Amino acid sequence: MDNSNFIIVSHRGYSSKSPENTFASFDLSRQNGFNHIEFDLQLTKDKIPIVIHDDSIDRTTNGIGLVNNFTYKELSALDAGSWFKSEGKLFSKEIIPRFDQMLQRYAEKAHLYIELKSSEFELIDIVSELLRERDILKFASNNPWKTPGIIIISFNKSLLEYSKNNLPLVRHGFLMFQPNQENIEFATDIGCYAVFPYYRNITKEFIEECNEHNLFVASWGFSNIKQVIEVVSLGVRGVTVDWPLEVDRLLKKRFNWYRDF
């Protein structure tokens, strides 16, 4: 293995040093050289896809309530950054991004990992339409290690299958807690490119089985950098982390195959 085939994905942007799922977080990731960025989509009351992890606005804004109870105009007035404190920096001007804004700012400069959080199938219809309208599907066949590019991911089997049927040329990835044979078969059957198991449940045998099915294996859910080393040693080919630069430095230190180009 070498680092041209290993991917570090910034989890909701550079979320250890800036408020998750904001332009500040995505920009910081790119400024540090990490162009594979993951973000979450929910639908507003007026059916606008927005970038937020939770189905409520309580944790990451100064508002209270469910995302789908508000129009985007109402949500756009919220402060999505002040809750986060980092080295004296203030993020009070951060807003909840719209998906179309994400495409405008990053589609040609990053590899986008689009996580479908809303359980509404209409989200996929709207995402598909925006990708087509903005001519983003031309990036679907790009090298998966490089930028630009897109991949759609979800824990929800029904949503993922529906999305793959709607966007057959786009790579899809199945997020899972339990890495098992049943989930490998599902991912293979619907034509997934990748599986993303929770780090704590991964085994070498699971990775070998995925390799036999030509499934790219990356992992998520880390609470510290040492856990990354454990799964990398098992053979995963990518990780989604809050601290991409720190992980990059550690991999360069610990693994001979991970080196500068």
N-to-C CA span, the chain: 14
Whose CA is closest to 149, among 110, 116, 175?
A: 110
Residue 49, φ and ψ in degrees, nearest 5? -70, 125
Q: Is 36 a catalytic residue?
A: no
Whose CA is closest to 192, among 163, 212, 219?
A: 163
**Of these residues, 11, 36, 111, 172, which one is catalytic?**
11
Q: Is 111 a catalytic residue?
A: no
Give 119's contacts (C-beta < 8 A, 6+ positions apart): 156, 159
Alpha-helical runs (H) found in the chain: 23-31, 72-76, 99-106, 121-133, 157-166, 181-190, 204-212, 225-234, 244-254
Give 165's contacts (C-beta < 8 A, 6+ positions apart): none
Catalytically active residues are: 11, 53
